[in-house]
Structures are given as C-alpha cells and as structure tokens.
Amino acid sequence: MALTHVLTPIQVGPVQLRNRVARTAHGTRLALYSFDDLIEFHYRRAEGGVGLTIFEILGVHRTTPASLNVFNPVHAEGYPRMMAKLRPTGMKCFQQLWHGGHHSLPIDGSPPWSASDQPSPEAGVVPIAMTQMMIDEIVEAYAMTAKKCEEWGLDGVELHAAHGYLPQQFLSPNTNKREDDYGGSFENRARFTLECLAAIRATVSKDFALAVRLAPDDAAGGSGVEDNGRILELIESKGLADMFNVSLGSYQAFPRLVAGMHEPMGYELPTSVPVTRRAKKVPTLVTGRFRTLEEADAVIRAGDASIVALSRAHIADPDLVKKTMAGHPERVRPCIGCNQGCLAGSRGPSARVACTVNAGAGWERTSGDHMLTPVAKPKRVLVIGGGPAGMEAARAAATRGHKVTLVEAEPALGGVVKIASKAPTRATMRDAIVWLEQEVYRLGVDVRLSTYMDADDVAKEGADEVIVATGSTPRMDGVQVTNPGEPITGLEQPHVLSSWDVFQDERRITGKTALVIDDTGHFEAIGVAETLQARGMAITFVTRHISFGPGVEMAAMSEPALSRLSARGSFSFHPRWRAVSIGKGTAVIAPTFIKLAEAMPGQLVTVPADTVVFVSPNRSNRDIYDALRAKGASVRVVGDANSPRFLNVAIREGHLAGIAV
C-alpha cells in the first residue's frame, strides 16, 4: 500500500513535524535509574524517524510526585542534555504536564488534592477538596512548569487532562461534587482545565506549542464522549491549544487505557473519532494499538485524525519508520500487545520499561540491535532449541557475523509459543516467532528441523560455542506451591490434562464441567479456562493466589479476562484454594491455609469435574546442558531450559547469550 499521508509534514501551532508518526507519553521510569538511560531510550526512536515524541508525565507540584518532576534539580540538569542530543535528529519533543489529583500521594505524606473528597481506586486515600487558593497554586504550577520546559529547549508541552487525572477530576461528574464556580454545570466543570491552558498560553512564547490530552473515561456517569467533544470545541474556540490528543480510559476502566492483544487495532477509534472530528482547525492525534505505518496512513486518509501514535510499536522496534521507508516493513519487529514488558515493566516491581520482543528496550546504553556490531573473528555457534530463546540467540549471533547452526527436534520452529498462541485472544503471540523465524533464515542461519542432539552429537559438530535453549515441559506431579507436602491425588487418570494437552489435543477434553487448577497465576490457566468455556463447559477455577491472574494484573490482562469468563457462562472462582483429590467426574478442593488432617466440616468441598487441568510451573529440559558442562564444553543455557519463566525473559536471555559469543 502506498503511504500517502503519514510521512507528510504537518504544522502543530508554531512547530512543524517532519511526519505524522508520534509517540504518546508512556511511563518508562528510566529516570529513577539514570537520566542517561532515558535519553538513550528516546534517542533510538528519534534516530529511527519518529516525527513527534511526548515525554512521560512530569510532576508539576510537590503534591504529585512522578518519576520526572519539575522540582527535581537532577531533572532540570538532564532535560537540556537530552534536548541537545535529540534536537539534531529532527524529532520534535513535547513534555506532558501532569497532576494526578487523588491518584497521587504528596511527598510530605499529606492527603492528595482533588476536585472533591472522592477517593481514588489507585491510592484509596480520601483527598482534600481543593480550595480556591489551592486551585490557583496548581494553575500557576502548570504555567511555571511549561515555562521551565521552554527554557530547557523543548518544542512544546501537553496538558494531561485525560485518564482521570486532576483536570478530568474537575470535568467528571463522578469526581466533581462541588457547588461553587468549579462544579455543577459543564461550563463550571471545564473551568479548571481552561484556566490551566490559559495560564500556560500566557506564560510561554508564541514559538512554543501547547497541546492537550483528552479522553472519554469509559466509566458510567463519568466524562464521556460528549463532555470531551464539548471541551475540545470550547478550547479550540478560545485558541488555547495547538493539538488535541484523544485517547480512552481512566482508573475506573484501566484496561481500556493501555489495552492488550485482546483488543483489535484501533480499538479506541469508536470513542476517539467522535471527539477528534469536532476539531475544525487544530490537528488531532489518536492512538490505540497501531503497529504499522499502513494502519496509521489509513486513519489519516479517512479524516479520523491528523497524526497517529505508534507508541508500543516503537518500543518493540525503534527503527519502524526507517525500515518501512527503506522498503522493508517485513523487517519491523512486531509489537504483540502483551504489555508484559512495557506496561507491567513500568508498573511492576522492576519499575522500568522493557519489551517482551525487544531485549534492548530500556537498556539502549548496553544492548539492542544497534549494539550488534560485526565481530573481528567469526565463530561457529551451535544453538540447540528453536523456540523464542534459541531463535533470538541465533539471530543476535548471526547479525554479528558468526556462522550459526540452529537445531530443533520438532518439525517446526517456535517452541512453546506455538502452543500458547492457540489460547483465545493470544494469536498475536505467533507474530513474535514468525518474525524471528524470518530473520534467522534471512541472516543465513543453518536451520536443521526434526534434529535431535545429545552431548556426543554436539561434540561431533565441533562448534566453538554452544547455546542450549531446549525449553521445558509440564510438571504433572500434583505438587502445589502452598502445600507441597500434600500433593493432589488422582492425577494419573486420563481426564487430567496439562495446558499443553488442552491446546494441542481437544479430543482429550470431555464432559460438561471442568476444574482448572492455577498454581502459576499467569495467563496460561486463564487461556485454559477460556478454551474450555468456549466448548460450553462450566468452569471451577481454583488458585493459590489472592487474586485472579496476578501475574498479568500489571499488564492489564486480568480484569478483561475475568469479565469475559464471567459473562460467557458458568464460572466459579476460588482464590486461596487448592485441589486435594481427583475422582471420576468430581474433585475435592480446600483452602490453602488448612492442613487436610485438621480440616473442619465444610472446608473440603466437592466440585463437578469431568475434565481437570493442572497448571503448575514447568520443569526445565536441561539434561544436555548438564552433560555438556560435565564434559567441559563452552556452553550457555537460556530461556526455560535455564528456568521456566515467561516469553520476555526467554527472548532477553537468548539475546544476551547471542551477543556474548
């Protein structure tokens, strides 16, 4: 498809963009570690051809600390350095200005500030309803922060008035219960946002752009499409914005804010377009799981927006624009929408952006494809196992110029991802292994399928380096993590299956009822439950965890899956429970916190279970690694063969092994 719009320049107020490809603000939290990490993260995308980047939230006041804060002297020093490096690339840079309102806890431990005393589902603390003095202080803080951004060398700022943050807390009837000039009517509820924009406009120069982010909050009784459309028209009529960035969601509907692979490309358009089309003069920006320039071009060509953001797509491949413009869109590493590295990475314990498919994301100073420089002396490298870890290791080593052989015991590459991608809503996972397969063949890797090797076979190859990526297999021993001394009895029966059995051989699924035993807390058991439910089965879901799918909670996958399961049929959920025994057509379950010998009446519950699926941590296939180590061979082990974990870890370990050769 010819790209007729997305690569053409566009004027955003006083700023001209070289193309219409944007990256919206997304939390990296890299500044918590090193501002240089943040600079390099954005520099890679600037080099790759992005037209506009909006930096992640910048806290404008001490009542709303973030990973970037205007009051942090380290950041005041870092921004000029960042702009000095980014400016020569031609990418324009806006800074998102943020006050979290009731979602954010002040530095001094005092209560948060908000429009009213409505608590947040994020912080859960009753906020202070802002006085006029507080309102004036925050309006000035937005203006002074914008002025600082201009002094630091940025091209513009974006007022974050979306996603349930402070400006939207004033706009939404759900969070604004005021009876003064800032509450009640739409005009009053819009007043705070307008005052912030007017103060910023009056403070910065005419050469500095001002954007605003809006979003229907997708919550009952909130600020929906109509309120956002009306405030857009009001802002435009007053000349207070040079660009409107329209997205979706709030903390009352968080999974819609950064939806994963269960949502289609452009999933936000049904609520964004009715808002963007109300803009008459000012350019608009939309987002929503776009992955290719072809998709973005179609949106602009249809008149739905002027600019399209491909934020997660650029985390997956910083060179998306460059590769496409060079005539090789097939070489763009695809974002699979899993949210495990980007969203879960920044929200989770590591508090750092990453990417499942791009091992270099967030680590650009030390790893990534731009670091795959040619070696002076190529080696013969043998990679055993053609799953994601093995293919990434082979790809990285071959890119550096090594002569690589990749052997796989099965007749096709892909490993366990071939199985996992068969679960409902998980088909996009195959994109990762299809891309890796294409790359290893393009790079000239000697791929040998249906080839099993033992330690003696490896010795005959005479490789200089060996990388073992032989994966893992289900552990069907009945041992549950919380109660290892009381393994499930009855697992040897034919109606007791692993997740692999469910996804690969549906003939083994029998009956009308199923018990799913989730001992991992990740999407694996969820996928099993959805697969069985699609066959019309009533599901009993038992997990040792305190919540549903905690391993994918930070990736915003748990709630949508729970919603689907609850809506489609009979579904019974038992947190902090485990399986005790399995019979024919029934099973016994019990709380994790009791010993069977001490169980009281009612604590052992019999549930219907024509089919039982036990999902537990896998067991590594590392025999060949141990045998090679015993022989003194130079060998590395990666992915599930090292320890059964998840796709993001497998690809990163494969990448690091490939570049270490």
Model confidence, pTM: 0.96
- State the average pLDDT over residues 588-614: 95
pLDDT at 568 over 90: no
User: How far apart, in Å, are the Cα atoms of 482 and each of 240, 520, 579?
Assistant: 57, 11, 11
Q: What is the pLDDT of residues 220-257, one digit of tens each?
A: 899 999 999 999 999 999 999 999 999 999 998 898 99
Cβ within 8 Å of residue 619, ≥6 positions away: 472, 473, 474, 475, 644
What number of other Cβ atoms are within 10 A of residue 103's Cβ?
A: 25
Cβ within 8 Å of residue 300, ≥6 positions away: 5, 6, 20, 306, 307, 308
User: How far apart, in Å, are the Cα atoms of 298 and each of 213, 303, 329?
Assistant: 22, 9, 16
Could you give the CA distance from residue 145 to residue 407 in angstroms, rounded to a whole number?
Answer: 56
Could you give the CA distance from residue 542 to residue 86 in angstroms, rounded to a whole number?
Answer: 51
Tokens standing for residue 231: 């405030």
Backbone angles phi, psi at 131, to 5 degrees: -80, 170
Helix (H) or strand (E) holding 468: strand 465-468
Could you give the CA distance from residue 3 to residue 298 in angstroms, rounded to a whole number?
Answer: 9
Q: What is the pLDDT of residues 31-54, one digit of tens each?
A: 999 999 999 999 999 999 999 999
Backbone angles phi, psi at 552, to 5 degrees: -120, 15
**Quick check: 102 and 119 in contact, CB under 8 A?**
yes
DSSP for 124-163 reads -PPPEEPPHHHHHHHHHHHHHHHHHHHHTT-SEEEEE--T
Structural domains in the chain? 10-331 (3.20.20.70), 376-473+620-660 (3.40.50.720), 496-617 (3.50.50.60)
Average pLDDT, the chain: 97
**Quick check: 265 and 288 in contact, CB under 8 A?**
yes
pLDDT classification of 21: cutoffs 50, 70, 90 = very high
Could you give the CA distance from residue 410 to residue 500 in angstroms, rounded to a whole number?
Answer: 15
Per-position b or e across 526-563, b if 16+ CB within 10 A of its CB: bbbbbbbbeeebbbbbbbbbeebbebbbbbbbbbbbbe
Could you give the CA distance from residue 159 to residue 244 in angstroms, rounded to a whole number?
Answer: 10
pLDDT at 575 over 90: yes
pLDDT at 363 over 70: yes
Could you give the CA distance from residue 21 to residue 143 in angstroms, rounded to a whole number?
Answer: 27
- At residue 456, the pLDDT reads 94
SS3 268: coil
**Quick check: 27 and 226 in contact, CB under 8 A?**
no
**Quick check: 521 and 548 in contact, CB under 8 A?**
no
Residue 97 pairs with which residues in a beta bridge?
Answer: 58, 159
Instruction: Identify the CA nearest to 195 among candidates 120, 114, 141.
Output: 141
For 304-356, the three-class secondary structure string (H helix, E strand, C coil) is CCCEEECHHHHHHCCCHHHHHHCCCHHHCCCCCCCCCCCHHHHHCCCCCCCCC
- State the average pLDDT over residues 286-311: 98
pLDDT at 340 over 80: yes
User: How far apart, in Å, are the Cα atoms of 99 and each of 3, 140, 154, 343, 517?
Assistant: 38, 12, 19, 20, 42
pLDDT classification of 195: cutoffs 50, 70, 90 = very high
pLDDT classification of 1: cutoffs 50, 70, 90 = low
- At residue 350, the pLDDT reads 85
Share of the chain above pLDDT 70, in %: 100
For tokens 């566009």, the residue is: 10
